[in-house]
Amino acid sequence: MSEITMRSNIPLMLGVKETAERFGIAQNYARQLALSGAVKAVRVGRNKILINAQSLADYFDSNYIKVSEPAPQGEIKPIAVKL
């Protein structure tokens, strides 16, 4: 018999509900990120989606709101948002 060894770098995979709770986002947003391919995810069975937690953390870490120039005092200026 061959021996099966477990890798210590197995990614943490979370369900949609647990992902939403841990990251403080809506379940629908977590599901949308997974289904769009923005983060690494797999479908398990018919309806279960597992999301790679590190991939989601990397996604949030690399997507900042970019402000072209600071708004003058007393004025409200819209900021560009990358979705």
At residue 57, the pLDDT reads: 96
Domain presence at residue 43: yes
Domain presence at residue 63: yes
How does residue 64 score in pLDDT terms, banded at 50, 70 and 90?
confident
CA dist., res. 17 & res. 14, Å (int)? 8
| CA atoms 11, 14, 16, 22: torsion sign | negative
Domain presence at residue 4: no
Count how many domains the chain has: 1
Higher pLDDT, 60 or 9: 60
pLDDT digits (tens, 9 = 90+) for 11-58: 999 999 999 999 999 999 999 999 999 999 999 999 899 999 999 999
CA dist., res. 62 & res. 50, Å (int)? 21
Domain presence at residue 2: no
Domain presence at residue 5: no
| pTM beyond 0.75 | no
Which domain covers residue 78, as residue numbers?
10-83
Domain presence at residue 55: yes
Domain presence at residue 77: yes
